[in-house]
Amino acid sequence: MSLFSAVEMAPRDPILGLTEAFNADPRPNKVNLGVGVYYNEEGRIPLLRAVADVEKSRLEIQAPRGYLPVDGIAAYSTVVQKLLFGQNSSLLEEGRVVTAQSLGGTGALKVGADFLKRLLPDATVAISDPSWENHRALFQSAGYPVKNYRYYDASSHDVDRTGMLADLNELPPRSIVVLHACCHNPTGVDLAPEDWKKIIDVLKARDHVPFVDIAYQGFGDGIEEDALAVRLFAESGMSFVISSSFSKSFSLYGERVGAISLVTQNRDESARVLSQIKRVIRTNYSNPPIHGASIVSSVLNSSELRAIWEVELAEMRQRIHRIRLEMVRQLAAKGVQQDFSFVSRQRGMFSFSGLNIDQVDQLRNDYGVYIVGTGRICAAALNTRNLDYVTDAIVQVLG
């Protein structure tokens, strides 16, 4: 028997499977709304000007490629912290935040999960229902049981606030609670400031461990606005974990630029926590890559480039919002009775469309419009050229 003869085929990733089917589809007017990236009006992943400028000058100086420290570029960690906590955060002055560069937001979640597993081996992890599917897989692969807390209410297209608070209350004390800071993936439905306050009260009372995942800062309402949850947790005095990512906000998906930040109670704790985070990293991949993080830190440390980036980020955010409004308008104008205005209230790249699995299948089979089985649409893949075709198709499948 050969070494690998007993290896079973792992289940296919449904979203990647969708893209494969899309690529093989010969229809010229096909549209892929199953993706998880921002496309510009021309249907391309943008290379931001601020990024291209830094890349050009980096090429010119012929920067050497030695190893980075285990926790990455120090100047990068500083800009990450300022984006998350604000320019003048007292937590930063008090040395209560440690940050390590990570391989995207996914890498931050993985390092955080592995670190917590050593600290709280018997804890339960709770994720929203629904959530980004990798949340469950990542925490399970770190050895944790993963439960759901109620989050999305399909009938109101809004958060099930009562259900969510009740479920958080019922988790065993000291559970790890994964929260989407903004632009919830896959629903697009976010918590309001008053919801966050109630959630923080429950987490505090139950001694839970908040794990705040912020993968879309700047894609919702703005850089500062989208950090509200992080700021409220910071004010709460709790210790907590944050995974953050520049994949979307810098359009640097393939460069894997993220960070794990941990808020501790004091400088001494910070030093010990960072030493353990470094240990997790060291035994996984030793140290992170240079390119993406050096771009982000160069942009954010230059007032000129930062201003350019902020404009480019605002353009991405505003384009998504405009296309949402236009989708709602077109559906109404084409005679759809059902109220789709919830689409314009959702934030970020994704939209839970409310389309059922039969409608999703019909969109794909009859019109070449590809959507994830849950009805999740990537609003950032719509543009003024494909929207008319997509809304026509939706009108047809709604019957």
* Kind and range of the H or E run holding 299: helix 291-300
* Least CB distance to ligand PMP at residue 380 (A): 12
For residue 112, state whether it binds ligand PMP (rule: CB under 6 A): no
For residue 215, state whether it binds ligand PMP (rule: CB under 6 A): yes
C-alpha separations of 14 from 229, 371, 373 in Å:
30, 11, 9
Q: Which segment (54-62, 99-107, 113-121, 259-267) binds ligand PMP by CB under 6 A?
A: 99-107
3-state secondary structure 364-394: HHHHCEECCCCCEEEHHHCCCCCHHHHHHHH
Contacts of 91 (CB under 8 A, 6+ apart): 85, 97, 234, 263
Could you give the 3-state DSSP secondary structure of residue 230? helix
For residue 128, state whether it binds ligand PMP (rule: CB under 6 A): no
How many angstroms separate the CA atoms of 179 and 206, rounded? 16
* Least CB distance to ligand PMP at residue 256 (A): 7
Q: Tell me which residues are annotated as active site.
A: 132, 213, 248
For residue 247, state whether it binds ligand PMP (rule: CB under 6 A): yes
Could you give the 3-state DSSP secondary structure of residue 150? strand
Beta strand pairing call for 31-32 and 97-103: unpaired
Q: Which segment (22-30, 86-94, 100-108, 358-366) binds ligand PMP by CB under 6 A?
A: 100-108
* Least CB distance to ligand PMP at residue 182 (A): 10
> Of residues 132, 139, 144, 219, which one binds ligand PMP by CB under 6 A?
132
Q: Which segment (102-110, 204-212, 295-303, 356-364) binds ligand PMP by CB under 6 A?
A: 102-110
For residue 213, state whether it binds ligand PMP (rule: CB under 6 A): yes
For residue 106, state whether it binds ligand PMP (rule: CB under 6 A): yes
Contacts of 96 (CB under 8 A, 6+ apart): 263, 264, 265, 266, 267, 270
Asked if residue 179 lies in contact with residue 210, where contact means CB atoms within 8 angstroms, the answer is: yes
For residue 292, state whether it binds ligand PMP (rule: CB under 6 A): no
For residue 258, state whether it binds ligand PMP (rule: CB under 6 A): yes
* Least CB distance to ligand PMP at residue 234 (A): 20
How many angstroms separate the CA atoms of 245 and 252, rounded? 9
Q: Which C-beta is closer to ligand PMP: that of 316 or that of 331? A: 316
Contacts of ligand PMP in 33-92 (CB under 6 A): 36
* Least CB distance to ligand PMP at residue 229 (A): 13
Total binding residues toward ligand PMP, as defined by CB under 6 A = 12
C-alpha separations of 338 from 174, 242, 382 in Å:
43, 38, 21
| Side-chain-side CA neighbours of residue 325 (13 Å) | 6
Enumerate binding residues for ligand PMP (CB under 6 A). 36, 104-106, 132, 180, 185, 213, 215, 245, 247, 258
